[in-house]
Structure 1
Amino acid sequence: MNLLLLSALLASTVMVVHGHDDHDHDMQMPLDYVKYPYQAAYYPGDNDVTANAIFSGITTFAKLPWVQCLGKDKTDLFDIAFIGAPFDTGTSYRPGARFGPAGIRAGSRRLTLYGGYNVPLAVNPFLSGLKVVDCGDIPVTPYDNKFAIKQIEDGHKELLHRSTFSPLGNDSLTGKPLVPISADGKNHPRVITLGGDHTVVLPLLRSIYSAYGQISVIHFDSHLDTWKPQVFGGAPSEQAAINHGTYFYWASQEGLIRNGSSIASIVFLAFLTPRRFFTSPAGENW
């Protein structure tokens, strides 16, 4: 009897499984259910979010399209660009941040898995309607700091002074046309720089000044980076005086930042401008 009962139970289970498979899954889903709500913005395929969307292909930031903005694609327009500044010969203790851009890009691959969707803000910045690209790296020499710093400034300035792909648009609250806040009255694209030891901040501030004039800076780091060259490094030469601990001193001397700037000693750095620029304690700029 036990054997017959077990057989009957197994048979009924099989019937239930087969009966379940006969139904259309889509017909049983809630009306507001979306199978893949946060699609990867730049991954072509069958609209399925799969693992190969992360590890396949070249490594750009968040799997964004690679545009050679400083090379053959120098006439291409964009709204937001990621650019690398692989420089670390201005540091006094721990070099290696020249590999920062590559490391940041590798770490950003998983942003594509759900398209970079921000749950608290309920927004996907990659699907904002703006053209976002990865411009690769600025060519930076590891042999000549003076020339390398000029390369970073020129490369950033080249991108910053390009026309935008999209018009500025209207204010989301008032509906009125937005007005550029730049000193030259133009709508500049946003440039996000991946570094690089902290010395790269000086050439970037010089570039930003060319479009916006003086800007306010909030700086969070494990040290102030406002050393006078005579104290930090001893300044044996004009070029040695510019390093990862003195760049804010020079930015102040050159009039690049406002007096209202705030220097704190915590974790990272952010400019209060349309660009977002972050610095980690490890010397990698985001």
Structure 2
Amino acid sequence: MDKKSWFGKSNKSASALLENDWRSIKWGEEDKIRKDLKEMKVRNPEVQHLRILVHGPVGAGKSSFINSIDSIFQERMTSKAIAQTATERSCTKIFKVHGIRDGKTREFLPFSLCDIMGLEKGPTEGLHPDDLIKILKGQIKDGHKFNPVSSCSETEENFVSRPTLSEEIHCLLSVIPADVIGLMKDEDFTKMRQIKDQANDMGIPQLAMLTKVELACPEVLKDLKVVYKSKKIKEKMQECSNSLGVPMNCIFPVKNYHEEIDLNTDVNALLLSALTRILDFANDYVEDKKPPAPANRKSSSDEQHKSRLYPDLTH
């Protein structure tokens, strides 16, 4: 039996936590962060909504993340995306672009979360690799039904031959379950790295989200605010970084809503903190795609004046 410390915690609990948070979270400021995200401006006039593609293995929490974000902005529990139960098959069969509304004004916010099939076991199971590339490029329309055997062809009505920047993906978010990351096979990470490499070749930023942190660490289950003190969660994040090839500062541990019926401020704060960074990366991407401003063309009279003053430089 663990001996109790002077502070009423067991030595075992104390040893599971670092003395200080190694990342800062603005606990209790969810209203301000939510307001900031509602008022966020996309830094490219060609794009109305930043598109975030959420992908990962079956049951990782992709759809639950989408539902959790939608619930925060609706300020009530919602279920836009069908969440996965205990099965090895993906519930998501179509490419779905989920617009997020302001719960009060009912207007769409300047970002969308895109849902696709979960990565299934076997090289020929789940989403066709070519379809994923086409989604990154914006060549597949919202609502397209996936076929694991054949990719969406150029003759299909859901194929976009000349996509705009608005239809492209602006950030790739890989979702990994913290509680079972050590049990995931190399095959799973190989598929995810291949997707990440495709996004990297296109210049699309890639981030990772570590879900189910409350199941990976008993201390976090008791108090979500110790997530950045938990040695176990930091170890899981490092494992994710090593396996997926994503730097630590691009990995965000979160807890999705799953069995709750009411919103929780701590859950919201952690999710909104991650979402803020994700949208920052996406906004940087579209800003870099902004066409350069036309250079001011000098008038012919200016050129003539220059030739008179500096005749040697104009010949």
| TM, length-normalised to structure 1 | 0.29
Indicate the structure (1 or 2) with the bigger Cα radius of gyration: 1
Greater relative contact order structure (CA < 8 Å, 6+ sep): 2
